[in-house]
A = this chain, B = another copy of it.
Amino acid sequence: MLEKDFRQVSCSTCHQRKENLLGGLGCDEISHIEDHKSCNYYKKNQSLFIEGSYPRGVFCINEGRIKIYKRGNEGKEQIIQIAKGGDLVGFRAMFSEDVYKVSAETLEECNICFISREDFLSLMDSNPTLRKGIIKELSTELADRANFITNMAQKSVRERLAFSLLLLMDIYVGEPINLSREDMANFVGTATETLIRLLKDFKEEAYIETHARKITVLDRNKLMSIAGI
């Protein structure tokens, strides 16, 4: 449970910022953001933005996890990415000068700051380090997605589930993976029933254990060999 006074976060002391794309900012730049940003508390399952709307700025996650997803034709979500504390979200659409092509929604309680489009773009104009960081981030994500596409096309659901569990371990560091079965299925790219059946297999083979919806990985190496990495 998040503290109430957590809701107003200071950029200058934010430990998340020091590790992320905004880590290289100067004091004056930070205080400028500090004065202009807004900081909000979000409940679980709240929407940050939806496909088709115009971006007005970027979201900087201080605490909590969110899903970035796209809806297919029948309305089914495909989760493209799960972002966590420290991640910047929603800047891609801003650069493409177009509407959002994906939606974002909190998976749990979150504290999230918001920096306006104008502030962020002017920061990028004046700060080459930030600029390079952003370009590098975009490029790295493109490579990740090429990999995601290849996995989708060539791996079985079982292999993709093993792969996804390993990815989720890096998102839920030190804690059990805590996603609804439907969200997990939409991340792996399968039907909820199929996902549940395969989780059961993994449980019986003792690669994972579950407590209610929470999943703990017991045999990381085995999952890696199933995932083919």
Question: Interface on A for B, CB 8 Å cutoff?
Answer: 70-74, 76, 78, 80, 92-98, 101-102, 125, 128, 131-132, 134-136, 138-143, 145-155, 189-190, 228
Judge whether B135 and A138 touch: CB under 8 Å.
yes
Complex CA–CA separation, A143 to B92 (angstroms):
8
Q: Given A72-B155, A95-B135, A149 and B149 touching (CB < 8 A)? A: yes
Quick one: which of A72, A80, A154 has the most chain B CB within 10 A? A154
- For A121, the closest partner residue in chain B by CB is B132
Q: A73-B155, A80-B149 are in contact. List 4 more A-B contacts (CB 8 A).
A: A78-B153, A94-B139, A134-B135, A138-B138
List of 4 A-B pairs having minimum Cβ-Cβ separation, nearest first: A153-B189, A152-B152, A72-B154, A101-B143
A/B interface sample: 15 pairs, CB < 8 A: A72-B153, A78-B149, A80-B150, A92-B142, A94-B139, A95-B136, A96-B143, A98-B140, A101-B147, A125-B128, A138-B142, A145-B145, A149-B152, A149-B189, A152-B152
**A96 contact from B76, B139, B151, Cβ within 8 A:** B139
Binding site of A, secondary structure by majority: helix, strand, loop or mixed? helix
- Chain B contacts for A141, CB-based, 8 A: 142
Flag if B135 contacts A80 (CB, 8 Å).
no
Most buried by B among A93, A140, A146: A146
| Shortest distance between the CB of A49 and any CB in chain B (Å) | 13
Tell me the bound Cα distance from A186 to B112 in angstroms.
41
Q: CA of A140 to CA of B95 in the docked complex: distance in angstroms?
A: 8
With most chain B CB atoms within 10 A of its CB, the pick from A78, A93, A128, A228 is: A78
| Cβ-closest chain B residue relative to A91 | B139
Is A96 touching B134 in the complex (CB atoms < 8 A)? no
Complex partner residue of A80 from B76, B97, B146, CB under 8 angstroms: B146
